[in-house]
Amino acid sequence: MWRKLVVILLLIQVSALVHAASFSGGLTLNTNSPPVYSKLEVSFQLADSYNNHYDTSEIEVHVNYTTPTGSQLYIPCFPFQQYTTTGNNWDWPAVGNMNWLCRFSPVEVGDYKFVVTATDQTSSDWVDGTFTSVNSSLPGFIQRSAKDNRYLVRSDTKDTFFAIGENIGWWDNGIHDYDNWVGKLADAGGNFFRLWIGATKFAFAIEEDLGNYDSTQIKAAFLDYLIEMAESKGVTIQLCINFHGDFSTTVNTNWGNNPYNSANGGPLSDPQYVWTDQTTINYFERRYRYIIARWGYSTSVHAWELWNEMDWINNYSSWVSQAASWHQHFYDLIKENDPHGHVITTSFAEDQNDQPVDAVVDYTQIHIYNSQNNIPDFVQTSNYYISNHLSTYNTPVWLGEMGVSWEDGGTCKSWDPNGIALHNVQWASLMNGGVGGGFSWWWDSYVDPLNLYTVFTGISQFLQGVTLDSHQFTVVQPTINNDNNYLRGYVLSGGDGYVLGWVQAQAYTWYNVYQGGGIPTVDNSQIQISCANKDNNNTLEIWNTFTGSRISYNDITCDSGIYSFTLPTIDGNTPDYAFKIYPGGPQNHTNPPTTSPTPPPNNKLPDWDYCSLSNQCQDNCCSLQYSSDDKLKCTPGGASNMCVTGDLQDWQFCTVSSQCADGCCSKQYSSDGNYKCTPGGSVAQCI
């Protein structure tokens, strides 16, 4: 739609004599050699000013890129105010005057050509340029898998992306709260969080002056800061654009302050007309254009979430078809104008399975909260909703919000201080075909004060190197013998012999533990899973779900159509295990110890597990000593001078960046091709 508008405007200007739309000076690039999947910025000034430079009927600016393989890409450009990002964010000083930016992320290596075009009501002008993109190890964009509709993948490697994280909707004290929260999330293995840009702290979604974003430029700068932080930590963000309370008079209402309210001079006499009022739709289109232009370049933008809990909008049940049409319109509009193809979702407060709205988007979400103890076991509840959504839509699904209480984080701290529900939904979601774990809502009052980030470590480690969409998994239940019916199990079984599984004490639920119930000890439980792989060269790995450590690995055969093995002891210290079975694997290996690991609260890796720093290990030594494969392992009795700490100095040999005082281990500037602690090393090259 925006492209068509540009074409029409250009046709009008063919006979124009006055050259009003013009550039003041040339173009400035932030780099002439951007790595693929990194940010390229083209900045410039226009000679003229406009009453509203966000209104494309006054001034429209875009860039057309020609890629090295000849593809043509269109991206809107946008007005931009720079700020100095130090100190309290509300005190950030503006730097200079507003200018224009075009942001882009190259996805091909090689020479690009581009043309920036500005068109106003009297004329058009353009400036061209070139740059050369170079290879990098940066991740690609999130997209739907072409091999299995249940999963999401990275666009570059096609590796599946299973979202592990939480909601982090807004800050408490300032934008730098995110330095703490996102840092801890990433350090624990998290890769995702959900952010409200419709909330008051960011509030870019509801502009103070309809269609004009000058007054919200500082809030846009907050989001710039946060996205760049996420990029540096390998975390993605689901940007929730619209907040239900802005268009509700009953739930979290902000309708009285909403500039779209006719009482405030806006176009809507009642909130529900947001779905159909054309003036409102036009303003939304302008806002989405700006959002795509400013943040669509980033691979850390996981998805555009069009609404949070839209069923709280006034009279929603009578406006379902209009809401579906609204979603189809904006889904098509965004897909047409977002060249990087970010996935799109939306959300409901209540489960709206079989909704026409959910049939529009790329993946669906479920919000579930315990109320009056109606969800004593999040495993059963999440399994029910995930399987229903998968069968209805055949698209990815996850629990977008969850909690043992919908009221406050303090209640969650009292009822479930160990994060049992949060732990359980990670594994239940994975083993039932979900594309992400359940995301707690109470980030600042529950997850952070209790340091429940450790919940994310086990599943993050377990999934490293696993390509979920490559095996055509079916969800099956294993046969469990010799357990007195104390255990339950869930399995993803692939036709190629690849198996992921999880077995848990049924009593390990937040509600049972809160009520003082115990976890029975189960020894020598026998697990049996149907299999079709006749190759005897198979490997079984058993994992600690809390520490993310591999406890044992052994050969296993598919004997008479059955994989059969014995689990270690399940008890209150180790209430569950995960396992993998796959064809081939380690040969002539020496099994590590199979004794029960340290209880989950210790969160230490057992002897001989892979590691990167000594403080991760029970014996406080991570080294290459006695290692037969030249990989760092937790070394019992290791020599102290060989144990790896996080204070290696510049140019010392290293294996991961966390070992270096300067935070970068790379081959950059290395004369002998070995990894060394690299002062000032490029983030893209740090391992």
> For 258-281, what is the mean pLDDT?
97
pLDDT value of residue 598: 37
The domain 2-133 is placed in CATH, from the list 3.40.50.300, 3.40.50.150, 1.10.1200.10, 2.60.40.10, at: 2.60.40.10
> For 45-65, what is the mean pLDDT?
95
- Which pair of tokens denotes residue 369? 């909260």
Residue 17 predicted with pLDDT over 50: no
pLDDT value of residue 350: 85
pLDDT value of residue 619: 79
pLDDT value of residue 665: 76
Question: 378-418 pLDDT, tens per residue?
Answer: 999 999 999 999 999 999 999 999 999 999 999 999 999 99
Query: Percent of the chain beyond pLDDT 70?
Result: 88
- Which pair of tokens denotes residue 598? 């340290």
Residue 591 predicted with pLDDT over 50: no
Question: 411-426 pLDDT, tens per residue?
Answer: 999 999 999 999 999 9
Range with the largest mean pLDDT of 247-261, 605-619, 625-639: 247-261
H or E stretch including 368? strand 364-369
pLDDT value of residue 400: 96
Identify which has the larger pLDDT, 517 or 17: 517
Pairing, β 479-481 against β 397-403: unpaired
CA dihedral of 402, 403, 405, 409, whole degrees rounded to 10: -120
194-203, 234-243, 326-335, 651-660: lowest mean pLDDT where? 651-660
Per-residue pLDDT band for 658 (boundaries 50, 70, 90) equals low
pLDDT value of residue 594: 37
CA distance 228 to 298: 9
Burial class (CB in 10 A: 0-12, 13-18, 19+), 49: exposed
pLDDT value of residue 532: 79
pLDDT value of residue 14: 32
pTM of the model: 0.83
How many residues appear in the chain?
687
Pure H helices in 419-536? 420-431, 455-462, 510-514
Among residues 107, 99, 139, 117, which one has the least CA distance to residue 34?
107
Per-residue pLDDT band for 338 (boundaries 50, 70, 90) equals very high
In the predicted model, what is the mean pLDDT of the chain?
A: 88
Burial class (CB in 10 A: 0-12, 13-18, 19+), 122: middle
Burial class (CB in 10 A: 0-12, 13-18, 19+), 378: buried
Taking CA atoms, 396 is separated from 303, 345, 445, in Å, by: 13, 10, 29
CA distance 501 to 478: 9
> For 194-202, what is the mean pLDDT?
86
Amino acid at 327: H
pLDDT value of residue 655: 59
Supply the DSSP string of 306-350, one letter for each residue.
--BSGGGSTTGGGSHHHHHHHHHHHHHHHHHH-TT--EEE---SS
Compute the C-alpha angle 10/16/18, nearest 5°. Answer: 120
Question: 134-187 pLDDT, tens per residue?
Answer: 999 999 999 999 999 999 999 999 999 999 999 999 999 999 999 999 999 999
pLDDT value of residue 628: 54
Question: 314-324 pLDDT, tens per residue?
Answer: 999 999 999 99
Q: Where in the chain is the domain with CATH 2.60.40.10?
A: 2-133
Residue 633 predicted with pLDDT over 80: no
CA distance 187 to 167: 16
195-199, 427-431, 462-466: lowest mean pLDDT where? 195-199
Query: Percent of the chain beyond pLDDT 90?
Result: 74
Per-residue pLDDT band for 668 (boundaries 50, 70, 90) equals confident
> For 240-257, what is the mean pLDDT?
95
Per-residue pLDDT band for 251 (boundaries 50, 70, 90) equals very high
The domain 474-598 is placed in CATH, from the list 2.40.10, 1.10.3470, 1.20.120, 2.60.40, at: 2.60.40
Across 242-259, b (16+ Cβ under 10 Å) vs e yields: bbbbbbbeeeebbbeebb
Residue 269 predicted with pLDDT over 80: yes
Q: Are 547 and 553 in contact (CB under 8 A)?
A: no
> For 658-675, what is the mean pLDDT?
70
> For 5-22, what is the mean pLDDT?
44
CA distance 401 to 442: 9
Question: 350-368 pLDDT, tens per residue?
Answer: 866 778 999 999 999 999 9
> For 584-613, what is the mean pLDDT?
52
- Which pair of tokens denotes residue 191? 């890769």
- Which pair of tokens denotes residue 311? 């069923």
pLDDT value of residue 496: 87
pLDDT value of residue 654: 64
> For 553-568, what is the mean pLDDT?
92
Identify which has the larger pLDDT, 270 or 3: 270
Residue 303 predicted with pLDDT over 70: yes
CA distance 247 to 315: 11
Residue 266 predicted with pLDDT over 60: yes
Per-residue pLDDT band for 667 (boundaries 50, 70, 90) equals confident
> For 472-492, what is the mean pLDDT?
95
pLDDT value of residue 451: 96
Supply the DSSP string of 641-658, one letter for each residue.
GGS--S-BPTT-B-SSGG
Per-residue pLDDT band for 201 (boundaries 50, 70, 90) equals confident
CA distance 243 to 306: 9
Taking CA atoms, 242 is separated from 76, 200, 262, 307, 617, in Å, by: 21, 11, 19, 5, 45
Taking CA atoms, 135 is separated from 65, 140, 514, in Å, by: 18, 12, 52
pLDDT value of residue 16: 32
